[in-house]
Amino acid sequence: MSLGPVMLDVVGTELTDDDIRRLKHPLVGGVILFKRNYENNAQLKALTASIHAVRQPPLLIAVDHEGGRVQRFREGFTKIPPMREFGKIWDKNPKKAKELAVEAGWILAAELRAHGVDFSFTPVLDMDYGDSLVIGDRAFHLNPQAISDLAFALMQGLKKGGMSAVGKHFPGHGFVVADSHVSMPVDEREFDQIAQHDMQPFRMLIDDGIQAIMPAHVIYPKVDSKPAGFSPRWLQKILRERLGFNGVIFSDDLSMEAATAGGDVTARALAALNAGCDMVLLCNQPAMADELLANLNWTISAQSLSRLARMHGHKHPLTMDALHESADFVRALHQVAQVGIVEGELFA
């Protein structure tokens, strides 16, 4: 059975009969994990193994594990600093900042891969305008070159750890104040202004070969009346054709408040897939997931399948024990632990 175009979550720390029923559905292609799915290292490894055993080829397993306040697994994992901390170092010493970003990407990827996770939805490529309620210190910087430098370095570290990168939130979520989880953000700027600023990190990372991108649940009315993730203009005309992106496009979560503009869950999924998404995410709504699986009529393209297949974790992952026996890995841990220490205080 090939991968389907829907990524769902699971309820707890081990698979239930309902989880397994959903994951066996031909429309499903992946699972996104959350904090509630993590108890300890051994349990997480068992959970991912059980998800991968449900079917062949195995479902993709993803997580939002960026660092800072967006890090789902904490106890037993290295604390990754918020990305803004690397931006602060870049201001003083760009070379050092890039070296540290590589190390952080390597740690992040190697530890997740050791537990059977295929990829993390990272890095954030949004510009840090200082006003966004949801982006904040998740962004590297306000300078597009700094964002590109640091995100590329992080991507190199992810690759070293056996993981693809996912740039978000195209074409840029940093300018708007509203949080798309709870409201519909609207960015009133002209296309040229967005293209000259917010889109630059995406353009540079696409040129550098980033494997996947997630669009923003933001409306840019000067370009299209639909949110970017539901807009053929943004995804096909601009992202695919103008910027030449040929990797995976993942929708943001269809259960977020900003996604409700798309209608009921089936209409939202169809709108996102028709706009150009290869895979749609639906999180934290089991009843809605059942509704979507019962009603969505979609045949995934060979091109989407080929793109998604590249998101499986690369390399045979090392165990946590093996990682901690590596002098290079231990040195990287010590380096990254120093990031964000100010006057003897560790980053929040």
Q: Is 72 annotated as a binding residue?
A: yes
Q: Give me Rg for the CA atoms of the chain.
A: 19
141 belongs to the catalytic site = no
User: pLDDT band at 342, cuts 50/70/90?
Assistant: very low
User: Which residue is catalytic, options 128, 252, 253, 278?
Assistant: 252
For residue 257, what pLDDT is reported? Answer: 58
User: pLDDT band at 263, cuts 50/70/90?
Assistant: confident
- Burial code (b: 16+ CB inside 10 Å, e: under 16) for 112-129 equals bbbbbbbbbbbbbbbbbb
For residue 180, what pLDDT is reported? Answer: 53
Q: Is 168 annotated as a binding residue?
A: yes
Q: Is 138 annotated as a binding residue?
A: yes
- Residue 254 burial (CB < 10 Å; 0-12/13-18/19+)? buried
The yes-or-no verdict on residue 345 having pLDDT over 50 is no
- How much is the mean pLDDT over the chain? 92
List pLDDT tens digits, range 163-221: 999 999 999 998 887 655 566 889 999 999 999 999 999 999 999 999 999 999 899 99
For residue 346, what pLDDT is reported? Answer: 35
**Do residues 282 and 8 touch, judged by C-beta distance below 8 A?**
yes
Give the contacts of 294 (CB within 8 A, at least 6 positions apart): none
Q: Give the residue from 254, 217, 283 showing the smallest Cα distance to 8.
A: 283
One-letter identity of residue 150: L
The yes-or-no verdict on residue 130 having pLDDT over 90 is no
252 belongs to the catalytic site = yes
List pLDDT tens digits, range 296-341: 999 999 999 999 999 999 878 999 999 999 999 999 999 999 997 6
CATH superfamily of 64-287+296-337: Glycoside hydrolase, family 3, N-terminal domain (3.20.20.300)
Q: Taking the domains of the chain in order of start, what are their residue ranges?
A: 64-287+296-337
% of residues, the chain, pLDDT over 90:
84
Q: Is 35 annotated as a binding residue?
A: no
Q: Give the residue from 224, 212, 223, 218 showing the smallest Cα distance to 277.
A: 212
Mean pLDDT on 142-160: 97
SS3 168: strand
